[in-house]
Amino acid sequence: MKRFSMIICRCEEVTLIQLEAAYESGCHTSRQLKMKTRAGMGACQGRICRHLLETWVHAKNPESPPDPELLPHRPPVRPVTFGQLANGEA
């Protein structure tokens, strides 16, 4: 039987199974999980999954102090072509 997992980060298609595996390998903070799984590094830059990821980390270990390195919230950047730059459109 195929095992399905909830997708935590839609942009990078990071699943709960991947987060659990990374957590078991020693990644215990949201930043460490981000570096290991790319959760929060997609097109939305964590606007969708950041809160879910940080809540999951806290639920795994409620005794731990709050993560001092919370994931940053960055606005998405639209791509600019070299032609747009050359024409002064950007």
pLDDT in tens, 37-74: 999 888 888 888 888 888 898 899 887 766 555 666 66
Chain mean position to CA 9: 6
pLDDT in tens, 9-41: 999 999 999 999 999 999 988 889 999 999 988
pLDDT given for residue 15 in this prediction: 93
Chain mean position to CA 48: 9
CA dist 75 and 45 (Å) reads 7
Phi and psi torsions of 15, nearest 5°: -100, 165
pLDDT given for residue 38 in this prediction: 93
